Amino acid sequence: MKQFESLTGKNLSRRQLLAGSALLGGGLLATSLTGCGGSAGAAAVPTINFWHLLSGGDGTKMQAMIANANNGNPGFKVHPTVLAWGAPYYTKLAMASAGGRPPEVAIMHASRVPGYAPGGLIEPWDLKLLAENGITPENFAPRIWEKSQQDGKVFSLALDSHPFIMFYNTDIAGKAGLLESNGQLGEVSTPAEFKAMALEMQKVTKSHGLSFGYLNLGSQMWRLFYTLYKQHGAEIVLTPGQPMQADRDAAVESLEFMATLFDDTIAAKGNDINTGIAEFVRGDSGMLFSGGWELPTMKKAKLPVDALTIPTLYGTPASYADSHSFVLPRQLAVDEEKRKDAYKFVSDILKGSLSWAEAGHIPAYQPVVQSQAYKELTPQVHYANAADIISYDPDAWFSGSGSDWQNYFAEYIQNVLLGRSKAADGWDGFVARTNDLLSRPNPV
């Protein structure tokens, strides 16, 4: 009996050994691969993983800025990972933070911070360590610095503010006789004046006066709506457990105005965002409502283009905007060295954000904005005033850029813009949906 047992024991252990070694080999290889972050040739220097959601024009700029930072810091190597903008990015960032092995540093829209900071998914910045790297609160515009804080702690460090603005084709505007002596578009201050201006441009293009694509894109509808709504001097307040506070008249008036734009003369009835941009780039319209970040697209197309903040049509200057900000996702075990490197990396990027301005964003780091080099950037300086009038999304765990809340907005408002339902009905539906969200347990 015994000899058989020992025999079989040997058999078993051989098999276990096989299975075990295969696993072990896999595990070892995996950990070694994690160690070098998947990038080739990074030998001994620590890898700083950095997540962002920028692709296209500003993504290219960001890659260049990262390469610069890497060249200037032989002590570490930043490995960027790009995820799809919006829900996919924010979902994965939250999951990675909850899991405790997230990237050392990540980009987050300032409007999303209220959904992450209170739950402990991101950690506050250490002001002392920032100061050591030459970054102080005085480097930021007051509105932006205020937005970076939650409960008195700094959770996000703004790289920029990126407002929703109005591009216009200077050729078309010139032919329509709309340019002032300084070469810029004249001021309009009422909805009627704006429409008249758009119609003048339409006469030149023979197609449309204005381009704005929004189909199936809540964030895009929200950007324009919130700009116009805030121009009424109105607020939206979201408090969990209470109904949403908003100015219904201002909202309905804004939506009704938006709906009248899409009459196939002033603007196409229903375009998606890319079609809208393409139309403007082709010269089939004189103006485009868009994020400043589309500037590289215009430059690439060599379009004669200038830009302004969206005209103040309802009395109060306001411009929807958000800020790409740096955050520190919660780590299971903080590597102090890597964290120091992350501070250095972020401060280098902030100080070098002049090239970020080339992507159409307004740098948040004031020394850059006040530099002569920035003042020579056109059309960027023409809408730099947006930094003083920007309106971030109302604070809530569910609001912000690329949030579900913006998708809900689309569900009720798209049909308003397409002329299929009344502005008041669409707004009431959205308010009811929001109140439903507010009535649910707050998971943060």
Partner 1 sequence: MANTTLTRSIPRSDSGQAIRQPRKKLSAGKIAAVVVAAVLAVLWLVPFAWATVTAFKSEADASASKVSWFPPSGFTFDAFVNVFQAGNIPLWTWNSLYTSAAITLITLVISAFIAYALSRIEFKGKKVLMIAIIASIIVPPPVLMIPLFYQMLAFKMIDTPWAIILPQVIHPAMVFVLKRFFDQIPHELEEAAVMDGASRLRIFMQIILPLSRPILAAVAIFVFIGAWNNFLWPFISTNDDSLLTLPVGLQTIKSAYGVQYAQNMASALLAALPLIVVFLFFQRQIIKGISTTGLAGT
Partner 2 sequence: MSSSTVSRQTRQARTTPAPGLKPGPSLRTSRNNVSGWAFAAPFLVFFLVFLVWPILYGFYMSLTGKSLTGANDALIGFANYSEAFADAGMWRSLGNTVYFTVISTVPLVVVALVMAALLNIGLPAQWLWRLSYFAPFLLASTVVSLFFVWMYNPQLGLINDFLSKFGIPKVGWLNDPNVAMWSIVIATLWWTVGFNFLLYLAAMQNIPVQHYEAASLDGAGAWRQFFSITLPQLTPTTVMIVLLQILASLKVFDQIYQMTSGGPGGSTRPVVQYIFETGFTGYRLGYSAAISYIFFGLIVVVSALQFVITRRRSA
Could you tell which of partner 1, partner 2, none binds residue 4, using a CB distance below 5 to 8 A set by kind? partner 1
DSSP letter assigned to residue 51: E
87 binds, among partner 1, partner 2, none (CB under 5 to 8 A by kind): partner 2
* N-terminal to C-terminal alpha carbon distance within the chain: 63
Residue 190 contact among partner 2, partner 1, none, beta carbon within 5 to 8 Å by kind: none
Q: Reduced to 3 states, what is the DSSP secondary structure of residue 398?
A: coil
Kindly list the distances between the CA atom of residue 347 and the CA atoms of 49, 111, 149, 373, 432, in Å, as whole numbers in the listed order: 16, 21, 18, 19, 43
Residue 6 contacts partner 2 per CB under 8 A: no
Helical segments of 248-309, H only: 248-261, 273-282, 295-300
- 3-class DSSP assignment, residue 286: coil
Q: Among residues 404, 422, 429, 438, which is the contact residue for partner 2, using CB under 8 A?
A: 404
Distance from C-alpha of 444 to C-alpha of 440, rounded to nearest angstrom: 12
Contact positions with partner 2 (CB under 8 A) in 96-115: 98
Q: Using CB distances below 5 to 8 A depending on partner kind, what does residue 404 bind out of partner 1, partner 2, none? A: partner 2
Residue 5 interacts with, from partner 1, partner 2, none (CB under 5-8 Å by kind):
partner 1
Where are any strands of DSSP class E within 271-422?
Answer: 287-291, 305-309, 319-322, 324-329, 362-363, 390-391
Nearer to partner 1, 53 or 437 (CB): 53
Q: Which three-class secondary structure state does DSSP give residue 352?
A: coil
Among the listed ranges 54-62, 70-78, 368-376, 430-438, the one in contact with partner 1 (CB under 8 A) is 54-62
Piece of the chain touching partner 1 by CB under 8 A; list 7-15, 216-224, 229-237, 283-291? 7-15
**Largest distance between two CA atoms of the chain:** 106
Q: Which stretch binds partner 2 (CB under 8 A): 137-145, 300-308, 355-363, 409-417?
A: 409-417
Burial class (CB in 10 A: 0-12, 13-18, 19+), 152: exposed
Nearest distance from C-beta of residue 206 to partner 1, angstroms: 22
DSSP H stretches of helix in 283-335: 295-300
Decide: is 241 part of the binding site for partner 2 (CB under 8 A). no
- For residue 146, the partner it binds in partner 2, partner 1, none, with Cβ less than 5 to 8 A by kind, is none
Binding segment toward partner 2, per CB under 8 A, in 150-158, 261-269, 287-295, 406-414:
406-414
Residue 383 DSSP code: G
Residues that bind partner 1 in the complex, under the rule CB under 8 A = 1, 4-5, 7-8, 11-12, 15, 19, 22-23, 25-27, 29-30, 33-34, 36-40, 49, 52, 54-57, 59-60, 62-63, 80-84, 88, 92, 95-96, 98-103, 332
